[in-house]
Amino acid sequence: MRAGLEIEAAVRSLETRGKERLAVRIGIATGLVVVGDLVGEGSAQEQAVVGETPNLAARLQVLAEPGQIVLAGATRRLIGDLFRLTDLGRQTVKGFSEPVEAFAVEAVAVTESRFEAAHRRITDLVGRAAESALLRDRLREAWAGAGQIVLLSGEAGIGKSPQLAAEVASEPHTRLRYQCSPYHRDSVLHPFVVALGRAARLAVEDPAETQLDKLEAILAPARIAENAPLFASLLSIPTGERYPPLSLSAAQQRRLTLAALLDRLEALARQKPVLVLFEDAHWADATSLEVLDLTVERIRALPVLALFTFRPEYEAPWTGLSHVTSIALDRFAPAEIETLAEHVAGRPLPLEVTAQIVAKTDGVPLFVEELTKAVLESGLLVAEPQGSRLDGPLPPFAIPATLQDSLTARLDRLAPVKEIAQIGAAIGREFSYPLLRAVAGRDEPALHAALAQLEEAELLFRSGAPPDARYTFKHALVQDTAYETCSGAAGRSCTGRSPMSYAASSRRSRRPSRNSSPTI
Ligand SMILES: Nc1ncnc2c1ncn2[C@@H]1O[C@H](COP(=O)(O)OP(=O)(O)OP(=O)(O)O)[C@@H](O)[C@H]1O
Ligand SMILES: [Mg+2]
């Protein structure tokens, strides 16, 4: 989506010899695509892309006006409120028997966090009693003037995003929320730039003068003369005649900007307690991490609770300090999975359905939510006074579209060893080293290295040591995704290299036919 908006803007700004302006039309659809072998020759050579999704994108592109981006319904559901859209209604397009939903993109919406954009309905907090109690305790200390840092870590979808914080902070306070983004890891102070723009309510269409007025309004009056030009420069607002140009070296300007950010935090904390939420620090740019360093020191004697969230791949350097508390969120136990599934469904679910959800989601709350929603949308459940019953036998669930991407991304990050994961997935949730070696046909050092890497990435658990080792996929959904992504060369090696070995596989009877949708 962001690439689409940028392509559109780049093409619009191209100079041409003629009077006409150039414009592009863009169509975006979401779904499974098989990218296969190279076809064509020379400069016309490209990878064959097959599936309904590219066809739909091409048809939607035809519906777009010049300079417009049109999205499919499935894409719209995934992006939540991240973009402002106009509903174009159902459209009849060539090659599709039913009319398809279409939405035109207006602009990027200003939402506070990924979490709010994608989740409009927050279910009641399930479990996490110990974590909530610990947070409440730290909050009490912080509000009493002994600033506290809480490091909240856990894998994707485990529940780091702000429910815990929302629950604990009921007293009047100022809330500062910073959201890191995987698209802006190299953009200096990105979370702070966005948060300041939002706090000042800057609008793109405001003239520079108005933007400066708005910026000054959110700064401590005593420091406006020093800090406003620094923030203006950070937010790329021209200061015109209002302030003399900053004649500082890059290093000086950087140091003063960081100091100004900390000054603002302190000034706010002198008025009211402050809750700082810094989300997804694993994506933070280096300078933002430096602000966190300074924050950890500065708040020791201020009524500030700062909550930094991140995935386990990030190693926070602040552990061990007396005012720093680490909380690692664990997966849900089966009873909690059931409760969450029931909350999402709004009623008790048939035992068979709950059992599948427990088995497939491995206690990751995000998976529980998405899989439960997928079951509800499948129309298989019939409401009854005390709950619901199944209308017919339960077929294997499809991997929800909302998860497909993140699961595939987990594997793609390990591109060089992905094939080993795929071969393992074709064998089953669990496989032995000798069987994998027989099917993969690799030399042992390469195989050892690949397995070690998959283990380190926590995609696989190992018991025993090769040659007697057994491996288990940590997530059933990761195994399914690895299996479903077998295509082309990798596909042949996952499924076709050794019929003898393959006959021993437990997955054989579950192989989907060529045309079926992905199943789990
Ligand atoms: N304790 C809980 N009770 C109810 N729902 C929960 C709980 N924990 C998580 N969820 C739900 O699971 C989903 C995923 O949680 P969340 O977005 O907080 O994950 P995250 O750890 O922040 O993941 P990411 O690293 O991708 O940001 C959310 O929709 C959330 O509502
Ligand atoms: Mg999150």
Residue 18: the pLDDT is: 80
Residues sharing a CB contact under 8 Å with residue 360, sequence separation 6 or more, in sequence order: 367, 371, 397, 476, 477, 520
Nearest CA to ligand 1 atom 26: 156
What is the dihedral sign for C-alpha 357, 361, 362, 363? Answer: negative
CB atoms within 10 A of CB 394: 16
Q: What is the mean pLDDT of residues 499-519?
A: 35
Q: How far is the CA of 373 from the centre of ligand 1 (A)?
A: 15
DSSP class per residue in 183-221: GGTTSTTHHHHHHHHHHTT--TTS-HHHHHHHHHHTS-G
Residue 459: the pLDDT is: 82
Percent of the chain exceeding pLDDT 70 equals 86
Q: Which residues line ligand 1 (CB under 6 A)?
A: 115, 119, 122-123, 125-128, 154, 156-161, 280, 311, 340, 365-366, 369
Q: Which numbered ligand comes closest to the C-alpha of 337?
A: 1
Name residue 402's amino acid. Answer: T
Q: Which of 174-188, 210-224, 373-387 has the lowest mean pLDDT?
A: 373-387
Nearest CA to ligand 1 atom 27: 156
Q: What is the mean pLDDT of residues 45-68?
A: 85
* Whole-number Cα distances in Å, 264 to 76, 211, 216, 234, 259: 38, 18, 12, 14, 9
Nearest residue to 277 (alpha-carbon basis) of 149, 128, 171, 172: 149
Q: How far is the CA of 202 from the centre of ligand 2 (A)?
A: 25
| Position in ligand 1 atom list of the atom nearest CA 364 | 12
Q: Which of 239-253, 276-290, 372-386, 487-501 has the lowest mean pLDDT?
A: 487-501
Residue 335: the pLDDT is: 94
| Average pLDDT for the chain | 83
Residue 494: the pLDDT is: 56
Residue 148: the pLDDT is: 96
Q: Is the pLDDT of residue 502 over 50?
A: no
Instruction: Grade residue 115 by pLDDT with cuts at 50, 70 and 90.
Output: low
Residue 513: the pLDDT is: 34
Q: Is the pLDDT of residue 504 over 60?
A: no
Decide if 87 contacts 105 (C-beta within 8 A). Answer: no
Name residue 113's amino acid. Answer: S
Nearest residue to 337 (alpha-carbon basis) of 175, 491, 158, 93: 158
Nearest CA to ligand 1 atom 31: 122
Q: What is the mean pLDDT of residues 176-194?
A: 91
| Position in ligand 1 atom list of the atom nearest CA 406 | 26
pLDDT greater at residue 193 or residue 48: 193
Residue 223: the pLDDT is: 84
Q: How far is the CA of 438 from the centre of ligand 1 (A)?
A: 40
What is the per-residue burial (b if ≥16 Cβ within 10 Å, else e) of 354-382? Answer: bebbbebbbbbbbbbbbbbebbbeeebbe
Spell out where 79-207 has E strands: 83-91, 100-108, 148-153, 174-179
Decide if 71 contacts 92 (C-beta within 8 A). Answer: no
Residues sharing a CB contact under 8 Å with residue 455, sequence separation 6 or more, in sequence order: 461, 462, 471
Q: Which of 1-15, 109-123, 235-249, 462-476 has the lowest mean pLDDT?
A: 109-123
Residue 413: the pLDDT is: 73
Decide if 520 contacts 404 (C-beta within 8 A). Answer: no
Name residue 505's amino acid. Answer: S
Residue 518: the pLDDT is: 34
Q: What is the mean pLDDT of residues 338-361?
A: 88
The total number of residues written for the chain in this structure: 520
Instruction: Grade residue 112 by pLDDT with cuts at 50, 70 and 90.
Output: low
Instruction: Grade residue 507 by pLDDT with cuts at 50, 70 and 90.
Output: very low
Name residue 448's amino acid. Answer: H
**Token pair 């996490």 in the structure block, residue:** 128
Q: What is the mean pLDDT of residues 171-198?
A: 90
Residues sharing a CB contact under 8 Å with residue 335, sequence separation 6 or more, in sequence order: none
Q: Which of 74-83, 142-151, 225-234 has the lowest mean pLDDT?
A: 74-83
pLDDT greater at residue 248 or residue 379: 248
| Position in ligand 1 atom list of the atom nearest CA 343 | 4
Site to substitute for ligand 1 among 366, 367, 370, most atoms within 8 A of C-beta: 366
Q: Is the pLDDT of residue 159 over 70?
A: yes
Q: Which numbered ligand comes closest to the C-alpha of 367?
A: 1
| Position in ligand 1 atom list of the atom nearest CA 158 | 21
What pLDDT digit, counting tens, does each position of 429-461 carry?
889 999 999 888 888 898 999 999 888 877 888
* Exposed/middle/buried for residue 407 (C-beta within 10 Å: 0-12, 13-18, 19+): buried
Residue 102: the pLDDT is: 93
Decide if 110 contacts 204 (C-beta within 8 A). Answer: no
In what helix (H) or strand (E) does residue 336 lie, and over which residues does it extend? Answer: helix 334-345
Residue 277: the pLDDT is: 93
Q: How far is the CA of 365 from the centre of ligand 1 (A)?
A: 6
Using DSSP, state whether 35 is helix, strand or coil. Answer: strand
Instruction: Grade residue 498 by pLDDT with cuts at 50, 70 and 90.
Output: very low
CB atoms within 10 A of CB 279: 25
Dist. CA 518–CA 399, nearest whole Å: 6
Residue 114: the pLDDT is: 57
Dist. CA 433–CA 244, nearest whole Å: 69
Residue 116: the pLDDT is: 56
CB atoms within 10 A of CB 201: 12
Nearest residue to 2 (alpha-carbon basis) of 82, 60, 62: 82
Q: What is the mean pLDDT of residues 159-180?
A: 79
What is the per-residue burial (b if ≥16 Cβ within 10 Å, else e) of 2-39? Answer: eebeeebeeeeeeeeeeeeeeebbbbbbbbbeeeeeee
| Position in ligand 1 atom list of the atom nearest CA 310 | 25
Dist. CA 246–CA 239, nearest whole Å: 10
